[in-house]
Amino acid sequence: MGWSAVDSEKIVAFLVFFFAFLWITRRLFSREKPPGPGDFQPPVFPDPPEDYAALERGKPPATIGAELPFPVGLPPVQQLPSGRYNRPKVLNYYFSNLDLKTGPENPRVFCDQLFVQFEAPETGATWTNEYTVATPFGLQELLDGTGQNLTFEGTTVIVPRWDIALILRTVLDDVMDKYAHAEPDNDEAEDSTRRYQG
């Protein structure tokens, strides 16, 4: 079959349309500079927040003791003539709700859980003690708010006001006294360190 004049016109029209399309496209995009090797910028994502609950409350994540200078002077860790050590190492401390830097809104009214992480120099075993720390007015506020009697497990420390050095001194004096005089269980060192909890 031969080519008709109509087929030739269709091919010519298609080629004209195709080249016109290429010419218009190049004119439109010729003003943009093609990206070079140094033009690529990777996307920057913000670091994920560590404490989502605190951010939901509109507060920054709470400060922990490992991030701050220790506010209490402690004797150096030394081995006693008995082979025991005079005290455990303090690794960290923090409150359930209170920030160590800012403390409570009212220094005379608070009640919170304090956690102190220790390490036994003899074995490297670690444990965490939990304390309820409160002021008399903080306890009264809890009583008024709940209308019920309060019971606390573990050690409760009552202080007149927010003073992190005083709170830690009270806790550590008790722990150091118990630690230096404790009888370790030679079978399981980790279990023995649990007996030093105040």
Q: How far is CA 116 from the centre of its chain?
A: 15
Note the pLDDT of residue 148. Answer: 66
Note the pLDDT of residue 186. Answer: 46
CA separation for the pair 58, 185 (Å, rounded): 47
Q: Indicate if the pLDDT at residue 184 is higher than 50.
A: yes
Q: Torsion-angle region of residue 128: left (phi > 0), alpha (psi -120 to 50) or beta? A: beta
Note the pLDDT of residue 160. Answer: 93
Greatest CA separation for the chain: 115
- CB 162: neighbour CB atoms within 10 A? 21
- CB 176: neighbour CB atoms within 10 A? 17
CA separation for the pair 179, 119 (Å, rounded): 11
CA separation for the pair 134, 113 (Å, rounded): 9
Q: Which helix (H) or strand (E) holds 175?
A: helix 164-181
Residue 188's pLDDT band (cuts 50, 70, 90):
very low
Rg (CA), the chain: 35
pTM given for the model: 0.60
DSSP 157: E
Q: pLDDT of 11-65, one tens digit each?
A: 777 777 777 776 676 666 555 555 555 544 444 444 444 554 544 555 555 778 8
DSSP 129: E
How far is CA 7 from each of CA 4, 20, 21, 167, rounded to the nearest angstrom? Answer: 5, 20, 21, 97
Reading the block at residue 4, the tokens are 């008709």
Amino acid at residue number 54: A
Contacts of 77 (CB under 8 A, 6+ apart): 85, 86, 87, 88, 89, 121
Residue with tokens 């922990």: 64
Amino acid at residue number 62: A
